[in-house]
Amino acid sequence: MKVCIIGTGYVGLVSSCCFADLGNDVIGVDIDDEKVAKLREGISPIYEPGISDLLKRNLKQGNLNFTTNIKEGIESSDIIFSAVGTPMGQDHRADLSAVMAVAKAIGKYINGYKIVVNKSTVPVGTAEKVEAEIKAAMVENNLSFNFDVVSNPEFLREGAAISDFKNPDRVVVGAKSERARKLISKLYSGIVRTNRPLVFTDVKSAEMIKYAANAMLATRISFMNMLSHLCEKAGGDIKEVAKGIGLDSRIGPKFLQAGLGYGGSCFPKDVNAIMMTLKDYDCDASILEAVESINQSQRLHVYDKVKASLKDLNGKTIGILGVAFKPKTDDIREAPALTLVRKLESEGARVKAFDPEARETTEKYYPNLQFVDTPYAAAKNVDCLVVCTEWDTFRTLNLEQIKEGMKSPVVVDGRNIYDPEEMQKLGFHYSCIGRK
C-alpha cells in the first residue's frame, strides 16, 4: 500500500520504518531539512533499539523514503498518517496547531480518495475538527474529493517501540466508513493476530482510549508512590506490596514501581490534557489532579532524602546515576532527574552526572551540567550518589569500588534497584523509596 507519514518524530519514524518493513511503500514527511537529510542517509535522529537497522534496510530496498515536500507525500499516497507532535500548550491543553496545519495541507493537495489517519495523541473531538479543516481547505482550493478521517492511536513505548509496533496488545481503530475499515485492516494484516486484535470502534472512543490508557498507567504509578510514603512511615516494603497486589489477575504486575515518579513526553502531557478536557466538559478531574500532584512532589521527595542525609547542601557534590526519563532511551523530556538537579543546584550543590545514552541530548539543553564517562566517575569524591534512572548497568556495579571512591558513602536510590540490607552491610548510608 502507498502510505505517507507526516511527522518523523518518535511515533512517525518508528511507524514509517515498520510499515515499510511490512512491505508497504512509505514516504515520511518532515519540515526539518536537516533531519530529512540525515534520515535519507540512514541516520536515525533518536536512540531506539533496532531503529537504525530497520531504517537502513528499508531505505536500501527502496520502499522507504523521506521528504520535506508534503505535497509529494499527500499526492502519492492512499493512506496519510498524521504523526505530528501535540505538545502541552500554555493552558495545559494539547496544542493542536501542527495537527490542524497537516489537515489544511491535505485539503490543499488532495488528489483522490484518501484515508487520513490520526496517530498523534489528540483530545476527543479532534477528528471532527480535522475533517472540517480538510473540507474548508478543499473549498478554498476548488477541490472536491472523498476522504475518511480515522483515529488510530499509538501505544508504543520508547525503548521498546519496534517490538511494541510489531507485537501490539491491540491496534485500536476508530472509523466511520466500511471502506476505511477494510483498507486499515489490510494495512495491519501482517501484525494483528487472534490474541492481538484489531479493535474497531467509533472515532471518539478511539481518541479517548489513548488518553484513558496513559492516564490509567500514570494513576497506578502515583498510587504506588502515595503508598510508598505510608510504608516509609508505618513500615512495610512497597516492593512487597507491589508483588502482592500484582499477582491478583485483576490488577496485574505492570506499572506498579514506586520511584521518582513518571516523566517523558507522554504521561505528564497527557494527564494534563485529559484533565483539561474533563474540566472543559464540567466533569470531576480530581483523581487526575491528585495523580499529577503526587508525581510532582515525588521528585522533591528524593531531594528531601538527600537533604536529610547531608543537611547543608551548599558546597556539597552530588553524583547522579541516570538522566534519561527511563532506561533504554536518550530522551530527557520531563525527566525527574533534571528537576532534582535544578533543585540541588539552587541549594548550592555541585552536580555531576552519568547516563549511558542521554549525554548528548542532555548537553544540548543543559550545557552546564557536568557529565562524566562512567558510573564510577559519577561516584568519585561525591558526598551523595542518587540513582535517578534504573539502567540495568547500574544494578551490576561493583558497589565496593563505588563506595571506596565516594567522599561519604551516602546513596539515595530513587528507583529501588539495590537491596537495602546488602547496602547497609556494605557500609552505605542508604535510603530508597517506600522500603527500609
Sequential DSSP letters for 129-170: HHHHHHHHHHHHTT----EEEEE----PPTTSHHHHHHS-S-
Maximum CA extent, the chain: 77
Catalytic residue among 266, 384, 388, 432: 266
Which residues from 219-248 bind ligand UGA, rule CB under 6 A?
A: 221
CB 59 within 8 A of CB 47: no
Place of cell 478536557: 277
Residue 413, C-alpha cell as written in the block: 536510590
Among 19, 66, 147, 325, binds ligand UGA (CB under 6 A): 325
CB of 392 to ligand UGA, least distance (A): 14
CB of 35 to ligand UGA, least distance (A): 19
Query: Judged by CB under 6 A, does residue 121 bind ligand UGA?
Result: yes
For residue 281, give the H/E element and its range: none
Query: Judged by CB under 6 A, does residue 272 bind ligand UGA?
Result: no
Query: Judged by CB under 6 A, does residue 158 bind ligand UGA?
Result: yes
Nearer to ligand UGA, 46 or 217 (CB): 217
**SS3 label, residue 115:** strand
Q: x-or-dash pattern for ligand UGA, window 250-269, by CB under 6 A?
A: -----xxx-x--xxx-xx--
Nearest to 155 by CA among 246, 216, 92: 216
**SS3 label, residue 81:** strand
- Catalytic status, residue 388: no
Nearer to ligand UGA, 164 or 289 (CB): 164
Quickly count: other Cβ atoms within 10 Å of residue 104's Cβ.
Answer: 16
Query: Judged by CB under 6 A, does residue 366 bind ligand UGA?
Result: no
Nearer to ligand UGA, 211 or 428 (CB): 211
Among 154, 207, 355, 357, binds ligand UGA (CB under 6 A): 154
Q: E-strand spans in 112-255?
A: 114-118, 147-151, 171-174, 198-201
CB 327 within 8 A of CB 391: yes
CB of 311 to ligand UGA, least distance (A): 28
Q: Which stretch binds ligand UGA (CB under 6 A): 81-89, 140-148, 192-200, 249-257?
A: 249-257
Total of chain residues touching ligand UGA, rule CB under 6 A: 20
Nearer to ligand UGA, 65 or 120 (CB): 120
Q: Which stretch binds ligand UGA (CB under 6 A): 77-85, 156-164, 356-364, 420-428?
A: 156-164
CB of 63 to ligand UGA, least distance (A): 25
CB of 127 to ligand UGA, least distance (A): 18
Among 35, 93, 307, 326, binds ligand UGA (CB under 6 A): 326
Sequential DSSP letters for 95-111: --HHHHHHHHHHHHH--
Quickly count: other Cβ atoms within 10 Å of residue 320's Cβ.
Answer: 28
Query: Judged by CB under 6 A, does residue 187 bind ligand UGA?
Result: no
Q: Which stretch binds ligand UGA (CB under 6 A): 154-162, 230-238, 315-323, 368-376?
A: 154-162
Phi-psi region of 345 (alpha: psi -120 to 50; beta: other; left: phi over 0): alpha
Q: State how far Cα 4 lies from the chain centre.
A: 23
**SS3 label, residue 4:** strand
CB of 291 to ligand UGA, least distance (A): 12
Query: Judged by CB under 6 A, does residue 188 bind ligand UGA?
Result: no
CB 7 within 8 A of CB 98: yes
Q: Beta partners for 65?
A: 27
Backbone φ, ψ for residue 189 (5° rounding): -60, -25
Which residues from 198-217 bind ligand UGA, rule CB under 6 A?
A: 214, 217
Residue 422, C-alpha cell as written in the block: 546488602
Query: Judged by CB under 6 A, does residue 369 bind ligand UGA?
Result: no
Nearer to ligand UGA, 129 or 157 (CB): 157
- How many Cα atoms occupy the beta-carbon half-sphere of 178 within 13 Å? 0
Nearer to ligand UGA, 48 or 383 (CB): 48
CB 51 within 8 A of CB 37: no
CB of 332 to ligand UGA, least distance (A): 11
Q: Could you give the residue numbers annotated as active site? A: 266
Q: Give me the residues that bind ligand UGA (CB under 6 A), please.
A: 121, 154-158, 214, 217, 221, 255-257, 259, 262-264, 266-267, 325-326
